[in-house]
Amino acid sequence: MRLNGRRESSNVSDRRGSGGARGLKIGGGIGAVIIAVIIAWISGGNPLDVITSNVGNLTSSNHTTQNYTPTEEEEELAQFSRQILAGTEDVWTKLFASMGKEYEPPTLVLFTDAVQSACGNATSQVGPFYCSADQCLYIDLSFFRDMRKTLGADGDFAYAYVIAHEVGHHVQHLLGTLDQAHSQMNRVNETEANNISVRIELQADFLAGVWAHHDNAMFNSLEPGDIEEALDASMKIGDDYLQKRAQGYSVPDSFTHGTSEQRSRWLKRGLSTGDITKGDTFSIPYSSL
């Protein structure tokens, strides 16, 4: 991505090195811990759901990092994240204004190891998440390293897609979509709730694509290969791909995020149209997603 000279958002709370949250151990028999990290991230919409559904063991660790010094790579990722967040602010402020609405930007919280949010305490094993209770998105920057080393999902636009997806959940919250969907999930059985979760996540992928479409139009930010990076990442975080990688087979009824093909298709739709009205994942039949 072309980011030289781009502004950095000031809506950032840097808590790296502070520690202090209670430790959560991810369980559920999914496989290796890092696969659980990626799976936890792509649920995105409600971190409490992620925590309660994946916690196998809750312990009090009171971990605090002493004499924390970020690496040069981490500092570059922090700057990158601030620039991407600024880009989402510019784009969504413009798009909300076109709808006669005012965009209220979220706060990006950078942390290491563990963090306390208004939605509860979490460790970095939960992955990036958005909390509607405090309108913050939380990221341990080591997640980008894990994407590269574990899934082979690499590249600056792939990382930008992660941030834009979480901001997509914030957009859903501001429009009332997220709270309505979570309310519906509480009134139905597990399979139907999973289906609603898939709709939430696919729309967040679409909104990430909408952001990229307009960011490129405003700043000429995309370079050759960028779109392929994001689409490759979306393919590698599909429920079917991750479940087959972890356990050799997939269980469609348990999908909460969408298949690789679905995630790639909705991201691509947002990228190609840039039209927020084209991303209604809730009114169409589930089989048509």
Residue 26 has pLDDT above 50, yes or no: no
Residue 111 has pLDDT above 70, yes or no: yes
Half-sphere exposure (Cβ direction) of 64: Cα atoms closer than 13 Å: 5
Burial class (CB in 10 A: 0-12, 13-18, 19+), 17: middle
Q: What would the pLDDT profile of 160-207 be if each residue is shown by its tens digit?
A: 999 999 999 999 999 999 999 999 999 999 999 999 999 999 999 999
Q: What gap in Å lies between CA 104 and CA 93, rounded to an integer?
A: 8
**What's the average model confidence in pLDDT over 36-45?**
44
Residue 104 has pLDDT above 60, yes or no: yes
Residue 95 has pLDDT above 60, yes or no: yes
Kindly state the DSSP code that residue 186 receives in the 8-state scheme. Answer: T
Residue type, 253: D
Q: What is the mean pLDDT of the chain?
A: 85
Half-sphere exposure (Cβ direction) of 228: Cα atoms closer than 13 Å: 3
Tokens of 12: 């950032």
Q: Residue 137: which of 158, 114, 168, 113 has the closest Cα?
A: 168
Cα dist from 224 to 11, 71, 167, 213, 220, whole Å:
30, 28, 24, 14, 11
What is the side-by-side order of every strand in the sheet holding 107-110? 12-14, 107-110, 136-139, 129-131
Q: What would the pLDDT profile of 121-137 be if each residue is shown by its tens digit?
A: 998 888 899 999 999 99
Residue 50 has pLDDT above 70, yes or no: no
Q: Residue 267: which of 199, 212, 193, 187 has the closest Cα?
A: 212
Q: What gap in Å lies between CA 267 and CA 271, rounded to an integer?
A: 6
Q: Name the pLDDT band for 9 (thresholds 50, 70, 90).
A: very high
Q: Residue 158: which of 229, 224, 220 has the closest Cα?
A: 229
Tokens of 133: 């209770």
**What's the average model confidence in pLDDT over 13-39?**
49
Q: Give the pLDDT score at 93.
A: 98
Angle at 13 between CA 77 and CA 210, to 5 degrees: 60
**What's the average model confidence in pLDDT over 223-234?**
92
Q: Give the pLDDT score at 19.
A: 59
**What's the average model confidence in pLDDT over 5-34?**
63
Residue 216 has pLDDT above 80, yes or no: yes
Task: Quote the crossing angle between the two packed helices 156-175 and 226-236, to the nearest 10°.
Answer: 70
What is the dihedral sign for C-alpha 39, 40, 43, 49?
positive
* Contacts made by residues 142-150, CB under 8 angstroms, sequence distance 24+: 142/74, 142/112, 143/37, 143/41, 144/77, 145/73, 146/34, 146/37, 146/38, 147/38, 147/233, 150/34, 150/35, 150/38
In sequence order, the β-bridge partners of residue 109 are 13, 138
Give percent above pLDDT 70 in the chain: 83
Q: Residue 156: which of 144, 167, 165 has the closest Cα?
A: 144
Q: Give the pLDDT score at 66.
A: 55
CB 66 within 8 A of CB 141: no
Give percent above pLDDT 90 in the chain: 67
Task: Pick 75 or 70 by higher pLDDT.
Answer: 75
Q: Residue 135: which of 7, 270, 11 has the closest Cα?
A: 11
Task: Pick 80 or 68 by higher pLDDT.
Answer: 80
Q: Give the pLDDT score at 214.
A: 98
**What's the average model confidence in pLDDT over 66-93?**
93
**What's the average model confidence in pLDDT over 40-68?**
41
pTM: 0.85
Residue type, 172: Q
Q: Give the pLDDT score at 241.
A: 83
